[in-house]
Chain A
Amino acid sequence: MYFESLSAMWHMDGHGIYVWLAYALTAIPLALTVWLPIKRIRQHWRWLEAEQRRVAPAASRTVNEAGV
């Protein structure tokens, strides 16, 4: 650990604002680039599962009806 106190860590001899701003402006878009596709995959997956549930009983029903 280089810094002696928490306030020194924030302040960084006057450069703190730049350093922390740069890290924040990196973290936010990076988090978004990871999170957005994950969200998209989940949405599509849920749609697919719902579609399967909707189609599968219908398919079995037609088989039954055909059997009867």
Chain B
Amino acid sequence: MWTIIHKMGSPPWFFRFSGTLVRWLLPITIALLLVGAVWGLLVAPPDFRQGNSYRIIYIHVPAAVVALAGYYVMALAGAVSLIWRIKMADITMRAAAPVGAVLTAIALVTGAIWGKPTWGAWWVWDARITSMLILFFLYLGVVALFEAYENKTAAARACAVLSLVGTVNIPIIYKSVDWWYSLHQPASLKLTGESAIDSSMLYPLLLMILAFYCLFALTVLLNMRAELVWAHRESSWLKQLAGGA
């Protein structure tokens, strides 16, 4: 365990390891996304109440799920960075924040588009969409705070503190928005039950969630590599790699 953490903290090792990983992950992610999208868009049967508009679920839900998980990944990296002062954790956090923000934005946009045929309005203050909006603000806060600091080591530590505070808060936010919504909920806005989802609809959804997790990992790794190449441009190990290539 410790040797793995130690290795992860070493830029040359991580650079080589992530290179191999990315080379495998890129085609796998693209294949999963394509299969999932075709399955969800063309093969799965339509929902008996919402018709075909429910097919947006295959991107909306995975984006929302992975965006939330991404915040925890970011906060975990932040905790590692605060406790052990590992540079690589700073870079992970920096790489994860914009990806999470993009995923949250996708969940919001697809949710709005889904709302039009379902509720007749582009924007409805539904509990889940509202929570997503707040998560979006939380992500933007981390990204903006990182940009605001000149000193990037301090920026990473400030973002780590912020994302840890956010992590403690997220369950409270989700719960409170849930209660708020159930108090004000007009009967006509009840969402269709999600407990009884048919397996012909569930499998493509699970596949898409897996695909989005892979995509998140891939983009975070790519961002980290981009950051590493630039930060270590003066290091001998990178020069050797570049010179040898």
> Interface of A with B (CB < 8 Å)?
1-3, 9, 12-16, 18-19, 21-23, 25-26, 29-30, 33-34, 37-38, 40-41, 44-45, 47-49, 51-52, 56
Q: Interface digits, B147-183 against A, CB 8 Å rule (1 contact, 0 not)?
A: 0000000000000000000000000000000000000
Instruction: Answer whether A41 and B226 are a contact pair too, CB < 8 Å, given A23-B37, A29-B106.
Output: yes
Residues of chain B within 8 A of A16, CB atoms compared? 52
18 contacts between A and B (CB under 8 A): A2-B44, A3-B42, A13-B46, A13-B52, A15-B51, A16-B52, A19-B55, A23-B41, A26-B63, A26-B109, A30-B102, A30-B215, A34-B219, A37-B223, A45-B229, A48-B229, A51-B239, A51-B242
Q: Which of B46, B98, B106 contacts A26 (CB 8 A)?
A: B106
Bound Cα distance from A46 to B238, whole angstroms: 12
Contact A52 B52 (CB under 8 A): no
Instruction: Answer whether A9 and B219 are a contact pair too, CB < 8 Å, given A26-B59, A41-B225.
Output: no
Please report whether the interface of chain B is mostly helix, strand, loop or mixed according to DSSP. Answer: helix
Instruction: Answer whether A29 and B105 are a contact pair too, CB < 8 Å, given A15-B53, A22-B113.
Output: yes
Instruction: Answer whether A1 and B113 are a contact pair too, CB < 8 Å, given A15-B52, A16-B52.
Output: no
The verdict on B243 contacting chain A, using a C-beta distance below 8 Å, is yes
Please count how many residues in chain B sit with their CB below 8 Å of the partner chain's CB atoms: 42
Residues of chain B within 8 A of A19, CB atoms compared? 41, 52-53, 55-56
Contact B222 A41 (CB under 8 A): yes
> Interface of B with A (CB < 8 Å)?
26, 37, 41-46, 51-53, 55-56, 59-60, 63, 98-99, 102, 105-106, 109-110, 113-114, 116-117, 215, 218-219, 222-223, 225-226, 229-230, 233, 238-239, 242-243, 245
